[in-house]
Amino acid sequence: MSLVEISPPDFHVIPEIVYATPTNFTSQPVYGRPGCYLHSDAAALLQRAIALAHPLGLTLKILDAFRPAEAQWVLWNHTPDPDFLADPRRGSPHSRGVAVDVTLVNDDGTNLDMGTPFDAFTPLSHHGNTEIPILAQRNRLLLLGLMTAAGWDFYRNEWWHYQMFDARRYPVLSDTALCRGMMPSQAISDRIESGTIVVHNER
């Protein structure tokens, strides 16, 4: 399986992998390190989006990319909401290496206002929502235009999520697909599996 690391200078992006920090909806790091990877096919589409954004003075900020299957279980165990998270038994496009969570940054380093934060599990995060400010609606449509013009599909409930149209033809991958894994040390992994660091352990 061909996973490509998404980082400068090969990719003109700003990697900011949220699940490697406690600043996510679980309030604790899910990844042991901030890895940013995509399948080579998805990486090629990302380069197209980067090329379209650059003349506009915009840079893509990557909030999440490849998500090991183990991490998908951690997220699902915490918040099993099928409107915003893929059931890990079906497999997330992220765990196939063909999805990316992304926003846009101006040349001066400021994030474009998208109306809600990343991973705001609310109808306000839906594409086409008209209850957010007009500027945020425009910014979402700008991101949507860039990504779809580059060949990405979008998920209607999340303004930040884009994936390949044929995502399901790619296999779900575990952390072992990487030469250097992203998940925490074995001791922490054991605690994840036992549920002792999962706030809500429904499964």
Q: What is the pTM assigned to this prediction?
A: 0.90
List domains and CATH numbers for the chain. 3-194 (3.30.1380.10)
pLDDT reported for residue 71: 97
Residue 66 · residue 37 · CB < 8 Å:
yes
Per-residue model confidence (pLDDT) at position 2:
85
Output the pLDDT for position 134: 98
The stretches in the chain having pLDDT less than 70 are 1, 185-203
Residues near 24 by Cβ (< 8 Å), separated by ≥ 6? 18, 30, 119
Active site residues: 158
CB 84 within 8 A of CB 91: no
Q: What is the pLDDT at residue 190?
A: 47
